[in-house]
Chain A
Amino acid sequence: MSNNNNMDHKYILEAQDLDIYYGTFKAVTGVNMKVERNKITAIIGPSGCGKSTLLRAFNRMNELYAGTSIKGKIMFDGEDIYAPHIDPVEVRYRIGMVFQKPNPFPKSIYENIAWTARIHGFKGNMDELVENSLQQAALWDEVKDKLQQSGLSLSGGQQQRLCIARAISIKPEVILMDEPASALDPIATLKIEELMQELKKNYTIVIVTHNMQQAARASDYTAMMMLADRVLRSGTVIEFDETQHIFTNPKDKRTEDYVTGRFG
């Protein structure tokens, strides 16, 4: 995959006429969406409308589920990541992911990052990389004196920040976050949101959240997803705009109903 990193591309990720299937079931339909570089894009919507399915398509994680396929394209830096010659593993290095339930390895805090970097082929100063990653994840001060302790000994919020540090240690360009704070308490949640504001200086973030207040607080752009068809139960993006517009003056009545709590 060419390391294009063409900074002239305003949009680092782009879904074009995207349909996503689980076997013959069309879970997501007709998504056209552009993700702007160094911004936070949130995907919100009611349960079961395909938010996580869409997110996982952006780094081909959905292929870990048997029988998934797509129609249409996902362009990353101007290149179709589903093209036959593209290695999905490399895609996932450049487009990293953080999951809902923090999943640090059963290793030390240090090794969580070092091991990840090592298998990616990192041969430089590991101490520096570990510190740098933990600094960027706003975790360094809390763990610098206990790097040899298990990653599992940390609190939920700290574990999640460790997972973020691990993801960014291999220098992705995009970080996908699938409800990264839904398992965390409100204070830890706010810390993650504040961290995202810092991270977007160097990375592009796409976050799925069922908490629309979180999307309102933390994101620059919001994609509103809903079922396009109640019978076939296929989800689509019904509105996509700057977050401030989605929450002050949405164009689609369904978006208005959702953000004002009148949906359903």
Chain B
Amino acid sequence: MARKTFESEIQHVKDNVLILGSMVEKALLDSVEALKKRDIKAAEQLFEADNEINKKRFEIENQLMILIATQQPMAHDLRLLASCMEIISELERMGDYAKGISNINIRMGDTPLLKPLIDVPRMAQKGADMLHRALTAFVNENVEIAKTLPVEDDEVDALYNQVYRELMTFVIADPKTIERANWLLWVAHNLERFADRVTNICERTIFIVTGEMKEIKSTDDEFWHQQSHY
């Protein structure tokens, strides 16, 4: 019975974080689909729809401020609400990546894609799936999944490296393709960063449960770090 009202308000916040997450997932997949089809109209709508993501983020932030101010959360409750602040910020940035992809689609105008999109949609699918599972782990406070999920970012990094090499091959063969290659590289870069942020969400889930804030380093980060010291 104790703090039943507070408990239900916490649940309400968690539900809202899930809603924001699914808005971002959809934005990402839709933006890549629109790019694949070169659907400029859809891209324009998606670009505007990012405002809804921002609005939702601020709505949840306001909810959190009120709970922190009025309910004196301590211990786990405090870690949870503080982490929600961080997570919604991550989600908003991830929404911006989706918006960026729509922006590229619009700016490309009539220019055809340099190559059919194969790895880019794969990256998007993987990123959206990782986000979905990361948020499920957050809501269920599942530390095991939060700890093991980030390693899947290696797949996304590998796809990014592949896209990079492929696009470089095009540019070396024909320098006039550089602009078109650049557009696609930006798209791939946005998708790579999207997946990186999933790791940040997992770190927060671990923090909520254990109280320990530890950065989970990606294999790619480790690789480049070692390269720079070679």
Contacts and interface: CB of A to CB of B under 8 A. Distances in A.
A2 interface: no
A191 B3 CA distance: 8
A181 to B, nearest CB: 13
B9 to A, nearest CB: 11
B215 to A, nearest CB: 31
Contacts of B5: 194, 197
A223 interface: no
Interface string A188-200: 0011001001000
A248 B69 contact: yes
B72 A216 contact: yes
Interface string B1-24: 111111000000000000000000
Main SS at interface, chain A = helix
B29 to A, nearest CB: 36
Interface residues of B, number: 12
Given A216-B72, A217-B71, A248 B2 contact: no
Nearest to B65: A248
A217 B2 contact: no
Interface in B1-53: 1-6
B228 interface: no
Contacts of A13: none
Contacts of B227: none
Contacts of B3: 190, 194
B173 interface: no
B70 A243 contact: yes
A138 interface: yes
Contacts of B6: 217
B75 interface: no
Contacts of B65: 248
Given A190-B3, A191-B2, A194-B2, A247 B69 contact: yes
Contacts of A191: 1-2
A187 B3 CA distance: 10
Interface residues of A, number: 13
A194 B1 contact: yes
Contacts of B70: 216-217, 243-244, 247
A191 B4 CA distance: 10
Nearest to A186: B2
B38 to A, nearest CB: 46
B66 interface: yes
B1 A216 contact: no
A217 B68 CA distance: 10
- Which of B1, B5, B70 is most buried by chain A, counting CB atoms within 10 A of its CB? B70
A248 B66 contact: yes
Contact of A194 (B4, B71, B72): B4
A182 interface: no
Interface string A220-258: 000000000000000000000001100110000000000
Contacts of A217: 6, 70-72
A243 B72 CA distance: 14
Contacts of A47: none
A194 B7 CA distance: 11
Contacts of A248: 65-66, 69
A103 interface: no
Contacts of A190: 2-3
A248 B69 CA distance: 6
Given A216-B71, A217-B71, A244 B2 contact: no
Contacts of B1: 138, 191, 194
A197 B66 CA distance: 17
Contacts of A138: 1
A213 interface: yes
A187 B72 CA distance: 15
A150 to B, nearest CB: 25
Interface of B: 1-6, 65-66, 69-72
6 contacts: A190-B2, A194-B3, A217-B71, A217-B72, A243-B70, A244-B70
Top 4 A-B pairs, shortest CB-CB distance: A216-B70, A247-B69, A244-B66, A248-B69
Given A190-B2, A216-B72, 8 more contacts: A187-B2, A194-B1, A194-B3, A194-B4, A194-B5, A217-B6, A217-B70, A243-B70
